[in-house]
């Protein structure tokens, strides 16, 4: 049996597949045309942010399982996979701690002006310490939008580790569950935006729905507030955010995800000084990469053995897939 590895995963995931007798192969590139050419004799595929489109799925005549390296499956055509009777699995929570720590590090970098002060010292400007405008996280209010595993980890670190007050907006989670952690449950997004010093986004993307944080939402935020997005680029109107930052209305932003990745050289946030940027690296710690690779590879092994994988995002496809398991 073969598993197509569209983009590199940690060696421990590869080792797990190979120990199960699965040959790991790679396409010429992560482009969907090359993936479609390589997938024909593969029973499984593991992809990262390159995703898997309908044409590549259709080319996988022997395909029995699609693994998404991470929690998100928005780059995989799940509907096409379901029509073909192919289950799609993901790895929710495997990178939660890693992403949560990036959120806190971005908040710290912005409140402590780490990048600005580093540049000042390198330029010989020791007196920058007298006009630093530094702030503490303790006592500040963090607004968490989305209370999945990453949002919960961020809230936990912020409240227990830094003494921050935490507000949460997550319509799918009962208010009592949020309040049980000592957090304030907001009933609408506007309420959270108006009352938070730092807003951190942890909602999945919703293709075609438009940005969650548009110019109107940005206008509701406190003057000088920070916006941190480590979830999905499409959640934020990036042009409106850049304008708000340049106008001095917001105090800064931390951005790990973009509507187009990688962002073009003329992206509106590239030349904004009070922004910390990262290349969609929130889940890329060594520890998270191991957890994620092992989790997705383990589910591939389970599926190819005829067992039910742990995290199937389209369970309605299971009947069709299990019917193709060799007897």
User: What integer pLDDT is reported at residue 131 of this predicted model?
Assistant: 82
Based on the residue annotation, tell me whether 203 is a catalytic residue of this protein.
no
- Do 86 and 14 lie in one domain? The reply is yes
- Do 220 and 194 meet the contact criterion of CB atoms below 8 Å apart? yes
Catalytic residue among 83, 194, 249, 280: 280
Based on the residue annotation, tell me whether 194 is a catalytic residue of this protein.
no
Least Cα distance to 17 among 294, 321, 310, 306 occurs for 294
- Do 174 and 189 lie in one domain? The reply is yes
- Do 299 and 185 lie in one domain? The reply is no
- Do 265 and 209 lie in one domain? The reply is yes
Q: How far apart are CA 52 and CA 233, in angstroms?
A: 19
Tell me the CA distances in angstroms from 235 to 205, 209, 270, 282, 293, one per residue in order.
Answer: 6, 9, 18, 16, 26
325 has a pLDDT exceeding 50 = no
- Do 192 and 263 lie in one domain? The reply is yes
Based on the residue annotation, tell me whether 311 is a catalytic residue of this protein.
no
- Do 224 and 112 lie in one domain? The reply is yes
- Do 272 and 303 lie in one domain? The reply is no
Q: Does residue 179 lie within any of the structural domains?
A: yes
- Do 84 and 152 lie in one domain? The reply is no
Q: How far apart are CA 69 and CA 296, in angstroms?
A: 6
Q: Does the N-terminal peptide bond of residue 249 adopt cis geometry, omega within 30 degrees of 0?
A: no
pLDDT digits (tens, 9 = 90+) for 142-161: 999 999 999 999 999 999 99
Task: Average the pLDDT over 106-130 and give the result.
Answer: 96
- Do 164 and 69 lie in one domain? The reply is no
Q: Does residue 160 lie within any of the structural domains?
A: yes
Strand pairing report for 198-201 and 184-185:
unpaired
Catalytic residue among 261, 287, 307, 316: 261
Q: Does residue 238 lie within any of the structural domains?
A: yes
Query: Which residue in this structure is represented by tokens 């944080």?
Result: 213
Q: What is the pTM of this model?
A: 0.89
Give the total number of structural domains in the chain.
2
Three-class secondary structure of residue 307 per DSSP: coil
The CB-side HSE value for 87 (13 A sphere, CA atoms) comes to 27
Q: Does residue 327 lie within any of the structural domains?
A: no
- Do 50 and 123 lie in one domain? The reply is no
Least Cα distance to 276 among 74, 103, 55, 29 occurs for 103
Paired tokens of 285:
């710690």
**Secondary structure percentages of the chain, helix, strand, coil, to 5:** 40, 15, 45
Q: How far apart are CA 209 and CA 60, in angstroms?
A: 31
Paired tokens of 186:
């907001």
Q: How far apart are CA 133 and CA 140, in angstroms?
A: 15
- Do 167 and 111 lie in one domain? The reply is yes
Catalytic residue among 135, 167, 202, 232: 232
pLDDT digits (tens, 9 = 90+) for 55-75: 999 999 999 999 999 988 989
93 has a pLDDT exceeding 60 = yes
Least confident of 111-120, 138-147, 162-171, 201-210: 201-210
Q: How far apart are CA 310 and CA 292, in angstroms?
A: 13
Q: Does residue 201 lie within any of the structural domains?
A: yes
Q: Does residue 172 lie within any of the structural domains?
A: yes
Q: What is the mean pLDDT of the chain?
A: 95
- Do 205 and 108 lie in one domain? The reply is yes
pLDDT digits (tens, 9 = 90+) for 262-320: 999 999 999 999 999 999 999 999 999 999 999 999 999 999 999 999 999 999 998 75
Place 207 in a pLDDT band, splitting at 50, 70 and 90.
low
- Do 309 and 65 meet the contact criterion of CB atoms below 8 Å apart? yes
182 has a pLDDT exceeding 50 = yes
User: What integer pLDDT is reported at residue 72 of this predicted model?
Assistant: 85
Q: Does residue 326 lie within any of the structural domains?
A: no
- Do 186 and 168 meet the contact criterion of CB atoms below 8 Å apart? yes
Strand pairing report for 198-201 and 141-145:
parallel
pLDDT digits (tens, 9 = 90+) for 23-56: 999 999 999 999 999 999 999 999 998 999 999 9
Query: End-to-end CA distance of the chain, in Å?
Result: 15
Residue 66 belongs to a domain with what CATH number?
A: 3.40.50.720
Q: Which domain holds residue 16?
A: 2-90+286-318
Q: Does residue 323 lie within any of the structural domains?
A: no
């Amino acid at each position: 049996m073969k598993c197509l590895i569209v983009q590199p995963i940690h060696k421990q995931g590869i080792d797990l597949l190979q120990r199960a007798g699965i040959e790991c192969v790679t396409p010429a590139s992560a482009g969907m045309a090359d993936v479609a050419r390589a997938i024909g004799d593969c029973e499984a595929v593991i992809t990262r942010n390159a995703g898997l489109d309908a044409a590549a799925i259709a080319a996988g005549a022997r395909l029995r399982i699609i693994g998404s390296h991470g929690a998100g499956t928005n780059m995989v055509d799940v509907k096409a996979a379901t029509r073909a009777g192919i289950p799609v699995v993901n790895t929710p929570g495997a990178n939660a701690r890693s992403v949560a720590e990036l959120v806190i590090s971005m908040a710290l970098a912005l409140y402590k002006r780490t990048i600005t002060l580093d540049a000042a010292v390198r330029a010989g400007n020791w007196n920058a310490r007298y006009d630093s405008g530094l702030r503490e996280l303790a006592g500040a209010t963090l607004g968490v939008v989305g209370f999945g595993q990453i949002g919960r980890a961020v809230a936990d670190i912020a409240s227990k580790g830094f003494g921050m007050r935490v507000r949460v907006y997550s319509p799918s989670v009962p208010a009592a569950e949020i309040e049980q952690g000592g957090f304030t449950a907001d009933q609408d997004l506007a309420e959270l935006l108006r009352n938070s010093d730092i807003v951190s986004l942890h909602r999945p993307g919703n293709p075609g729905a438009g940005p969650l944080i548009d110019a109107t939402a940005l206008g509701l935020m406190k003057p000088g507030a920070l916006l941190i997005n480590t979830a999905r680029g499409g959640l934020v109107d990036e042009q409106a955010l850049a304008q708000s930052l340049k106008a001095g209305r917001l105090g800064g932003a931390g951005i790990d995800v973009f509507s187009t990745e990688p962002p073009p050289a003329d992206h509106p946030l590239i030349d904004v000084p009070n922004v910390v940027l990262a290349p969609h690296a929130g889940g890329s710690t060594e520890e998270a990469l191991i957890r994620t690779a092992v989790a997705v590879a383990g589910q591939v092994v389970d599926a190819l053995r005829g067992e039910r994988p742990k995290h199937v995002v389209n369970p309605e496809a299971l009947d069709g897939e299990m019917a193709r398991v060799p007897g």
